[in-house]
Amino acid sequence: MVTISSSAVDEFRSGLRGQLMLPDTSGFDTARSVWNAMIDRSPAMILRCAGVADVRRGVAFARDNGLPLAVRGGGHNIGGSALCDDGLVLDLSAMKSVRIDPDAQRAYVEPGATLHDLDHEAQAFGLATPLGINSTTGVAGLTLGGGFGWLSRRYGMTIDNLVAADIVTADGALRHASATENDDLFWAIRGGGGNFGVVTLFEFALHAVGPIVYGGLVVLPLADAREALIQYRDAVPAMPDELAVWAVARLAPPLPFLSPDVHGKPVLVFAMCYSGPVENGPTAVQAVRGFGQPLGEHLGPMPYEMWQQAFDPLLAPGARNYWKSHNLATIDDGLIDALIRAIDTLPSAQCEIFFGLIGAQTQRVAVDATAYPSRETQYAMNVHGRWDDARDDTRCVAWARDFFDASRPFALGSVYVNFMTEEEGGRIADAYGPNYERLVAAKNRYDPHNLFCHNQNIRPTV
C-alpha cells in the first residue's frame, strides 16, 4: 500500500472541480459498486471527475504518488477493471454530455455516457452508430474494446465509426487522435482497451437509422434447437446486411407473449433487428420464422431506441456474472450438440449462451486497420453465467468453463477482449493476434511505466 499524507490529499482536493471521495465519505460504498456483483474492491479514493482538468490532475496525482489507477466509465466491464484496491479511481460517470451535429452526422460523446444516452440524442435526428445490446453499458469501455451490436453487419464495429478522440495520456498531456493526428494512438485505442490513457471525448460517424425498425423475438423449444441452428447457419450467407439475427439458448423468461407453462423451460430464442425499410421487415425475417415451430413470437415495427433497451431487464446490475467467450467462423454440428448438453444442465435460471451474428461489414475491414483484429469472426459466442447467491459461485463458474472447454475445438482461437474475465490475462495474445506487437510499441511510447494497467493489460517492454 502507498501512504499519502492528509496534506497531500487536501492539496489534491483543492485543485478539483469534481468530488474526491474517501472511504469515510457518505456514499463511498455505492460509488465503488459496479455492474458485476462479483467485483468487490476497495479503492483508497474515488475522484468523480467534472471535466478534463480533473482527469489530468487525477492522472498526475496517481502517477506522481505511485498509486494504482483505475478508470470507470459505465462500470459495466465483466472483469471489474473500473476499480482497483488501495488506489485512485477516476469515475467519469458525471461526464456524460452527448452533442449531435445532424448536418455533419457526427456525435461528440463524453466518456461517462451510456449507450442509451447516445441512442436517445442521436435518434432525435433519426441517426445512430453501432453500439452494444444493453443500454446501460458505457460507451467508452464498449468502444475501446471494439464494440458491436444490431447495426454492425450494416455499418461495422463501433470503432469502425470512431472518427477521432481526445485522450489524456500517462504524461498528463491531452492529445487529439485521428487518422491524421497521433495516428498510432488512434489506431491503438480502436480495440486496445484502456491501455493508452483516458479518453475524454469520442467523435463518432452517424448513419440514418430508424426511428422505427422491424424486429423482435421468435422462441422455439430446445427440442427443435439442433435443426433450427443448422437452418440458421445455412441461411446466414444470404441474409442482408440490414438484418442481424442472434441465437440465444436459455430458460424462457416470463415474456408476456409466451404461455405461462413455457416460462422456465429450455428454449432457443432468435432475436432479430432489421434496420432497412420497415415495410420490408416481414419479408426479411420470414425465413427465421420457419426454423421451427415457435412456442411464441413477438415481431413488428418498433422504435430503435426501445429495441436497444429490450434486454436491459435480463442484464440489470446487482447479479453475479461470469463469462467465457470464443469467436466463431461457423456453428459446427458438434458445437450445437455441446450447446444442447449445456442448456440441459443450466446451474441457474439466468444463465445463457448466445451466438451474436456480426460478419458482413465487420469482415470487410483489413485486419491491421485497427487494433481489433478479429475480422474473420462471423459469430461472437458468449457463455453468460449469471446468478444471485454467492453460494452458487463454484458450480456456476464451473458450468461456464465446462462449456467453454467443450466448444474450444469449434472456435477460431481468438476472443473479443470486452468479454474476457479478470483471470484471462493469458489470452491477451489471442485477443490481438497479429496486431499485438504493434500495440506493445504504442504502449512503450504512450505508457512506458504501465500506469494504465487495470485492464486486459498490454505490458510495455521498455
Domain segments of the chain: what residues?
8-91, 98-209, 212-419
> Which helix (H) or strand (E) covers residue 326, if one does?
strand 320-328
Q: E-assigned strands of 57-114? A: 69-72, 88-91, 98-101, 106-109
Split at pLDDT 50, 70, 90, the class of 462 is confident
The CATH architecture annotation of domain 8-91 reads: 2-Layer Sandwich (3.30)
Q: CB within 8 A of 392, min separation 6: which ones?
A: 320, 347, 348
Calculate mean pLDDT across residues 195-219: 98
pLDDT at position 127: 98
Split at pLDDT 50, 70, 90, the class of 3 is confident
pLDDT at position 360: 98
In this structure, the number of other CB atoms found within 10 A of the CB of residue 109 comes to 28
Q: Which three cell numbers stand for residue 17?
A: 472541480
Task: Quick: pLDDT tens for 103-150.
Answer: 999 999 999 999 999 999 999 999 999 999 999 999 999 999 999 999
Q: CB within 8 A of 339, min separation 6: which ones?
A: 225, 229, 249, 353, 403, 407
The helix-helix angle for 225-235 and 281-289 (nearest 10°) equals: 140
Cβ(99)–Cβ(108) below 8 Å? yes
Q: Are domains 8-91 and 98-209 of this chain identical in fold?
A: no
Task: Quick: pLDDT tens for 327-352.
Answer: 999 999 999 999 999 999 999 999 99
pTM for this prediction: 0.97
Which amino acid would we find at residue 211?
Answer: P
Task: Quick: pLDDT tens for 402-442.
Answer: 999 999 999 999 999 999 998 998 999 999 999 999 999 99
As a whole number of angstroms, the distance between CA 313 and CA 133 comes to 12
CA 32 to chain centre: 20
Fill in the DSSP letter of residue 378.
Answer: S
Task: Quick: pLDDT tens for 79-108.
Answer: 999 999 999 999 999 999 999 999 999 999
Mean pLDDT value across the chain: 97
pLDDT at position 115: 98
The third-level CATH classification (topology) of the domain covering 98-209 is: 3.30.465
pLDDT at position 311: 96
Phi and psi dihedrals of 22, rounded to 5? -110, 170
pLDDT at position 1: 73
CATH 3.40.462.20 holds for 212-419: yes
Q: Within the chain, what is the greatest distance between any pair of CA atoms?
A: 70
